[in-house]
Amino acid sequence: MATLEVKSFGAPDEVRTFEKGRVELVKVGGVAIGRAILEPGWKWSTHVKPIAKTKSCEAPHFQYQLSGTMKVVMDDGTTRECKAGDVSRLSSGHDAWVVGNEPVVVVDFQGMADYAKPASGQGQAVGAR
């Protein structure tokens, strides 16, 4: 039997908010796909690290960037700026932040399933892990 499944970020299955950002999740074929909207001034090490309690972002990402500029610094020092139209793959172990005054919007096909997910029994979010 053929399967056809369509979801919209206009009506996400789940929304997770954190300071200066949010992640909207849709689940298609059992896979969570996330759209992150990160406001100017957002930085992982400032806004998520205190929640995640990890040295750096441990979520691997495979994403398409729709808008804005984001600087990424890997734990080994490798640095890149990602811009609208870029496809990027980030392994675990990085920091990232919004550059400039335009929000960064990315659609992530790999690393958002647990990103900023509320901890069991707690009202606050936990970071990428």
With b for 16 or more beta-carbon neighbours within 10 A and e for fewer, the 99-117 pattern comes to: eeeebbbbbbbbbbbebbb
The pTM score is: 0.87
What are the sequence ranges of the domains in the chain?
17-108
Instruction: Tell me which amino acid residue 92 is.
Output: S
Length of the chain: 129
Neighbours of 46 (CB within 10 A): 13
Superfamily designation of domain 17-108: Jelly Rolls (2.60.120.10)
How would you write the pLDDT of the chain (129 residues) with one tens digit per residue?
789 999 999 999 999 899 999 999 999 999 999 999 999 999 999 988 877 788 999 999 999 999 999 999 999 999 999 999 999 999 999 999 999 999 999 999 998 888 876 554 444 443 443
